Every structure is written in structure tokens, then in C-alpha cells.
Structure 1
């Protein structure tokens, strides 16, 4: 905090071409750069000056979380968050907002199943659009708000514009979420909502009349490592109209438990692209409905 008010350091930042925020605890970043009364320190003002004149702001993990105006702060496990809700001011805190006040950002998204925690957080704070990036991957956002995915994997785009909840149900639920998977090389414009597939997928739009697989599509652990993308890939290129994923806890506890059903449905707006050079898909506009379910335990017994 003392260094953040150093005039010489602020001047050095202001004259730089870019700033990179490292991983760790995003709360340490914001506490160092934002005064207790909510105003900017000299260092943060300098970062914003650099950014406004065209400098690059980048970050990994915690350094990505601070890019939106709201970020997670000491959150519960994902299933517990769905079961008990999110406490604003405790599990959600102000970020630095470089991407704008209208976009929610999360990270480690696919390998840790964090797409499911983005949705209640976005609902709690009134966000319509969320972008979640996976590990070893990056979202490059230009001044024209065009997002390009680079790196090993990709990002989830969550759109709550038409989402609804059943207010008579006291448990977390939501319907008509639009969820998309943007693969490496894909581009998406936040302002226009236009999608451009990577060059290797430009001619690879999937034909829904000629699917490559048949039979039920489901996952018993939709919060598992990359499970949601695997489910969406299998659905978009199958003869099925919907897929179901289950989020649940310990299968051996001896009591009734609450889990959640994630129902993915193809709509007339759903589109899939497949790469001509790799086993890679881009998937747009899958409808997602989430509702609480009662799980009977134990899930299995030995024979």
C-alpha cells in the first residue's frame, strides 16, 4: 500500500507500455491498489492512464479476476454455492473493471467447473454477459471490444439476457441461459455480439441433419474437469436435442441430498463448428436450464 502511493513508481508505470498482474489472491491486488475509502491510489491512476492511451493490461488467474468490476473473493465450493447462495461483500468483491462494467470475468473455468458459479454471481450483480477463460489460454480484448481466444483451450460465453427464475422455488434455479464455447482462434465482439470462427473452422459448420453420433448424452459430474465442454461437443454433433449433466456431492452419505440438474438443449439458434485440422469444436447458443433435484443416498450399494 505504501508503494502504491509512491510518485516515482506511479510515473514509471504511466510511462510503460503494459502492466501484468500475477496470480495468487486477487484481494491482495485490489487492497494494495484501492484505498480504504474506495478511491484510487497513485499507482492505480497511473495504470488507468497507461490503459487509456493504448497500453496493454494483462493478468493470469487472480490477475484475470480483477479485470471485471466484480470478482470472487474467498468463495465457497461450487456445489455449496449453488446450495446456499452467494454472499455479496463476502464472496463477491469489487474488481478493477478494466474490461468494463457490463462483463463478468472468471478464470480456471473449464478444468475446475467454474462456469456453474459464474451464473449465480452474474445474477446477483445484474450482469448479462460473462466470459470465463480456461488455463493455458487467454482472451485478448481490443479497444473495439473484440475478443480473440488464443492458447491451448478456450473460453465460455454466458448470456443471461433472456434468463428467468422460478421465484416460488426457494432454491437456486434458472432457465433459458445461453451458453457458448469459444475455442482457440475464435473471435467474438462484445458490442455487436458477432462471432467469427477460427480460420480452420471457417468451412466446418456442422450440419444438424447429418450428426456424427447417436444416443443419449449425459454426464454424472458436470462440474468435473472440462466435463461441460465435452457434454456440449457431444450434443452439438449428435442426433439428440438435449443433454443432461448432474452436480452432486458425496455419493456415500446416508441421507437425502440436494443436487442440481443441468439441462442443455439445442435451439434453432444453436450452431457448431468443427476444425479441419484438429479435434476441436466451437459451439454457440446452447440453452441451459438449471434446477435443484433431490438425490437419494447412498447412490449405490455393493452387490
Structure 2
């Protein structure tokens, strides 16, 4: 099967550049003010050379991997922190026993994470007369526990003494020129071009990078600041995070000195002062300066980029404990509305943009879940369970780690027209988006595929649409409209019928006018001429990209219906995707990097979901 993607004409890439100041009250609004990406960007960097066309482009000073050291002090920190619960004592003891065994092999020699985990999983030791497998010990830890252990072992990567650098910490470098995936390059360059439109042609665009979605908010700072600098921007890190807001909301004027404590409590991140001393010092000074200085930094910028990770962390970074917008978020809102800043996000940085109010109703923010659990158990307006919490029984509120959760009050609220979801087709998230929209009585949902971007432009004037959107990048955007859907039953017995879906790919556009979504296919796409009518079925429709592949065949052929099932242990859902009189499909092809890529966009493809017999 030909790879599915999308195609954008050169017209969409070439953005007009204005010379007006960002502070000019009569400033023309940018054509597009937001670029919302679905994650999965494949960027060449010194720590991800598999994405490079030439892996030898980085100097010896570049950070190639993280380092870990099994010193007695580090093992003692793992053992004595009070981190482990009483019912996880066995896991704690076995983990320490394996690490102590490895310390005997490595002494104090630092090793890469890859080498450490290889040795760990390959270890076989005797504990109290019982043989213990390192592989089983590793697999038995939750993500929270494993991150804690690795954080306690991590040490900084230093450049050689003869490198003649004022800061001896080694940094991760990006290289767009050697990035193999041209779609990734296009997306980053597009955002810089959007920021340049705001800045005018007299200077470089000023871009702020926010890494608040990360469990470790320091880990990606070097990567993104270097990447956007290479792309032609004047770039700075905005060190706002959940830890920063927690410090200020604690009421203790000295709380900024305790950022390590807040990082542990809010992010589950430890020992960052040791690994990133310069960035921790920068973050501490930023914290002490407070929101006035942060707002001033935002005011001077032309673009702001939000990274991926956990959207709930970014929400905590920019909204206060009572749900109100922080001074920093208010500044972004004002500038975005005035056309004085452009905003981009990837993965969690996109999902967090949902919120605000559309057509008199709050727009929720999705925070967790898979399609199977969503259809079986419904959506819960509760904090997302921790990744891996099933392993250590740390899930709260009676949830399992794959349950569908959301914030009913929304995310940042910069995109109010529907729920945003990411890593979409690749992780089979169609079912969870549809179920969330049903349970929250929301109308629209937008699922952005990996390495793909949704451009968003705000309406100007009485005759303009409320919002216009366009698709660029590698794949597409799945759009759900619940306006004509009907349902019966509830819980795992829910029947949903007449759900309207669209799949728009590269170069396609859409807009919302008078609460109605209208779409336009790219003018180089034509009606499919494949007259075959295959029988289209999938036994595991929400696994990997099975739904996307199935609907692509339905789009490309004269088949009228595709059927799928999502069933585990005899329980689950049957899914029917079908065409009616209003359905339209258009196909096109494009050669990218020596590969012929097939695209098929569709409008008004209907979906029914019902419990499987």
C-alpha cells in the first residue's frame, strides 16, 4: 500500500512579509496565527542521528547521549528518599540489588542510558537465595519509578577541557540541513516564517521556547533553542513551568530557592541541579524576577513554541490553582488576538491549546486514554492517571492508566473551536475523540497526525469566517462533527450513529462560518478512478494506524462501507465507516524523497459505533 500523506502547494509555504511593527495598533493580522502539530517530528540532532542524512555532522563537543553513574551516593539516594511505598519494598530492594551488582562491574565509570539498560536487563543475580532477572525487575517498575531511579543516577555530560568554552556542559545540537524528513523541516521553517511576518523584514523574528510539557523541563532546551536559531530566529527559553507557578503560589517569597522540591512534586523530576546547573540557575533567576519580567519577555517576542510531553503540566504552568489565566497567559491571549504574536505547539503543546468557549459551551481539553477504554468506559472529567500507574497501584480516582480523561474547564483556551488531539492516526485515537465529544456534548474535534500541522487563522471583518484552517506536512487532520449524530444507551452499551467525519490532507482548507464547517480540497486532487469494490474489514481497528489504512482504501475505491472491530476478552465495539449521498473523496499523489506518496481526502464519511456481540 502506498504511504498516506498530504501535500501543500508552494503558495501555502510562501508567506507575505510585512514591515509593520508588532506594537503597531493598525497592524495587519497574520494570514495564520497558529501552527498546531501532531508530534512525531523526525529532527536530526546529535542525540537522534538516525534522523540525519549524514550522521557525522556533529563535533565532539555535541551531546550524543545522557550519562549515568552508579556511585554509592547515587544508590543511597535511591534507597533513602522515602519515595517507595510500603507495598513496593520488594521492587525497591531488587532494583537496588541489581544496580549494586552493576556497580561492581562499572565501578564509577559513567555509561550511556542505552548501555546501562542493556546491562540492567541482562543481569542475573541471587537475592536472599532466589535468582532474580534484571529484565523482570526492569519490566516490573512503573514509569514513575524508573524515571526516579534514572534521575538519581544521571550526571552531566561535559565537553573536553580543550574545547575552550565558558560553559563546560555539553549540549544537544540540531541540524535541519541534514534532517532526512523534509516535512519536519518544512513545519519548523513555516513557523519561523510566520514569526517573521509578525517581526517585519528589519530584524530576525524573536521566538520563545516553552518546555513546560516535559517531565524534565530542562532536557529539550538546548535542542529547541539551537534548532530555531539555525532556522533563522533570535530564540530564547521561557523557563515557565508547573514548578515555577507552584513556587509563586506557595506564598513563600523564598520558594524560588526550592525549585528542586517543586520539580519533584509537580513534574516527578529529580537531581536537575546536578545535570543542568546553568539552566537551573537561569530558571531560579527567572522565578525570582516573577511574572512582570516574564510578561515583558513575552511582549518582546514574535512567536512562542510549546513542546510535547504532558499537556496537564503546561496547563499548570499557565493557569493558576483556581483555573484563572496567569499574567503570562493573559499577555499571550492579548497579543494573539491583536496579531502581535504567533503560536505553535507539537503533541501536548497542541492538545493544551483547546479550551475557551465555542457556541456558548466550554471546550474541553483531552488529557489521556485510548480508544478501546474510551468506548468501554466513557470519559472522566478527572486528572489523568500517571503513566504506568497500573504497575505500582498508584492510579487514583478508581481509574486505570488507559482510561479517557479530560479537563472540562479546558486547556489554555487559545483554540476554542473544538477538541484538539495528536499522534492521531498513528495511535488509532478516532474512538477516543468521538467518545469525548459525545460525553461532553462538544461539536467539533480535530485529530492531527504525526509530522503534520494544522494552520489556524483568525477571522477579520464581519464577512470573514470565524476561523480558517489549512493542512500541511506529511499526513492529515481527522475532523469529527457531532451535530447530526444520535445515540442510545450509555456506558459500554452506548450506540452512536451518523457521526460525520472528514479527513483533510496536505493543501486542503476549511473554515467555520455561522457554526458550519466548510472544507475545500486542494485543486490538484481529483475524484478517484479506481472502480474496484473490495470487502474492507479490520479485526483491530483502533490499533496502530489500522483505521486510517481502512478508511484510505474506502476513500480510494468504489467500496461503500468498511467494517472494523475493537474487542478484548470478548468485549468491545463494532465500527462501521460508510459513504452516503453527501460523501466526497479526492485523491492526489506526490513524489517526496524518491517515494511516490498517495493521498486521499474525504468529506462527510459517516461512522457508526455499537457494542460488539
**Pairwise TM-score range, normalised by the shorter structure:** 0.7 to 0.9
1:118-171 C-alpha deviation (Å, 9 max, x unpaired) = 011111222111111011001000013111111111110111010011137862
Q: Is 1:35 aligned with 2:357?
A: no
CA contact (8 A) 2:505 2:600 kept: yes
Distance 1:215 1:276 in 2: 21
Residue in 1 that maps onto 2:412: 96
Match of 1:66 in 2: 352
Q: Over residues 43-74 of structure 1, what are the superposed CA-to-partner deviations in whole Å (9 max), with x where a residue is unaligned?
A: 1111112211112111001100111112222x
Do the aligned partners of residues 156 and 50 (structure 1) sit closer, same or farther apart at CA in structure 2, a change above 3 Å counting? same
- Give 1:197 deviation, angstroms: 1.3
State the SS of the aligned residue for 1:266: strand
Partners of 1:103 and 1:84 in 2: CA distance: 22
Structure 1 residue 47 and structure 2 residue 369: aligned? no
Q: Which residue of 2 aligns with 1:271?
A: 584
Give the 5 Å matches for 1:171-190.
Answer: 171-190=493-512
Cα separation, 2, equivalents of 1:239 and 1:23:
39
- Does 2:200 match 1:200? no
- How far does the alpha carbon of each residue in 1:241-298 deviate from its partner, in whole angstroms, 9 at most, with x for none? 211011122xxx5xxx21111101110110010115441111111110000113xxxx
2:439 maps to 124
Query: How has the CA–CA distance of structure 1 residues 27 and 168 changed in structure 2, closer, same or farther, with 3 Å as cutoff?
Result: closer
Gaps of 5+ in 2: 1-244, 249-286, 356-363, 384-404, 460-466, 591-596
Could you say if the C-alpha distance between residues 238 and 199 of structure 1 is closer, same or farther in structure 2, counting changes exceeding 3 Å? closer
> Does the CA-based 8 Å contact 2:457-2:469 persist in structure 1?
yes
1:300 aligned partner = none
User: What is the aligned partner in structure 1 of residue 430 from structure 2?
Assistant: 115
| C-alpha separation in 2, matches of 1:28 and 1:57 | 18
Q: For the residues of structure 2 that align with 1:82 and 1:5, how far apart are their CA atoms?
A: 44
Which of 297, 300, 311 lines up with 1:26 in the alignment?
Answer: 311
- Determine helix, strand or coil for the equivalent of 2:543: coil
Q: Larger relative contact order (C-alpha < 8 A, sep ≥ 6)?
A: 2
More strand by share: 1
Is the deviation greater in 111-120 or in 170-179? 170-179
In the alignment, is residue 227 of structure 1 matched against residue 546 of structure 2? yes
CA distance in 1, matches of 2:547, 2:373: 18
Distance 2:555 2:325 in 1: 46
Q: Give the TM-score of the pair, scaled to structure 2.
A: 0.44
Distance 1:76 1:143, change over 3 A: closer
The residue that corresponds to 1:246 in the other structure is 565
The range that moved more, 110-119 or 232-241, is 232-241
The aligned length equals: 281
The residue matched to 1:121 in structure 2 has which SS? helix
Q: Which runs of 5+ in 1 are unaligned?
A: 295-303
Cα distance in structure 2, aligned partners of 1:51 and 1:168: 40
Quick one: distance in 2 between partners of 1:18 and 1:160? 33
Contact 1:16–1:50 (Cα < 8 Å) also in 2: no
TM-score, structure 1 length as denominator? 0.87
Give the aligned CA root-mean-square deviation in angstroms. 1.9
Distance (whole Å) between structure 1 residues aligned to residue 290 and residue 540 of structure 2: 47
Describe the shift of the 1:116–1:272 C-alpha distance in structure 2 as closer, same or farther (beyond 3 A): same
* Counterpart Cα distance in 1 of 2:301 and 2:418: 26
Alignment check: 8 A CA contact 2:305 2:344 kept? yes
Structure richer in helix, relative to its length? 2
> Which residue does 1:78 correspond to in 2?
371
CA distance in 2: counterparts of 1:170 and 1:81, whole angstroms: 9
CA distance in 1, matches of 2:490, 2:566: 22
Shift of the alpha carbon at 1:39? 1.5
Q: Which moved more, 1:150-159 or 1:81-90?
A: 81-90
1:157 paired with 2:479, answer: yes
Answering whether residue 330 of structure 2 is matched by residue 14 of structure 1, we say no
Larger Cα-atom Rg: 2
